[in-house]
Amino acid sequence: AQSVTQLGSHVSVSEGALVLLRCNYSSSVPPYLFWYVQYPNQGLQLLLKYTSAATLVKGINGFEAEFKKSETSFHLTKPSAHMSDAAEYFCAVSRSGNTPLVFGKGTRLSVIA
């Protein structure tokens, strides 16, 4: 069964610092990989997705993620954190075929002024 592991339930960074949120997946077939963001009291919205076209994927709000098959990782980064980035971030995986997304447990990002 496919699964996704997010390392760190809470990450805290200073404003202007690098953001790095970690995600590792287990899948027996090449996966589709996603990052979603959830702002307080809202539903999730798509940040970016990997579907095998390119290993470096750019998303909204300056975020990007790199697919590394050898490390089974899909870490999310942003060069410079902004206060508005404070939210919960979820990594998700899906195989091709008729199977729904499986979400990680989420990482809450705090940005300190």
Partner 1 sequence: NAGVTQTPKFQVLKTGQSMTLQCAQDMNHNSMYWYRQDPGMGLRLIYYSASEGTTDKGEVPNGYNVSRLNKREFSLRLESAAPSQTSVYFCASSAGVNTGELFFGEGSRLTVL
Rule CB under 8 A: which residues touch partner 1? 9, 32, 34, 36, 41-46, 49, 51, 90, 94-106
Q: Which lies closer to partner 1 via its Cβ, residue 74 or residue 90? A: 90
Rounded least distance, CB 43 to partner 1, Å: 3
Rounded least distance, CB 81 to partner 1, Å: 22
Q: Which lies closer to partner 1 via its Cβ, residue 28 or residue 41? A: 41
The DSSP code sequence of 1-50 is --EEEEE-SEEEEETTSPEEEEEEEE-SSPPEEEEEEE-TTS-EEEEEEE
Rounded least distance, CB 17 to partner 1, Å: 25
Instruction: Using alpha carbons, select from 107, 85, 110 the residue that is nearest to residue 21.
Output: 107
The neighbour count for residue 47, using CB atoms within 10 Å, is 21
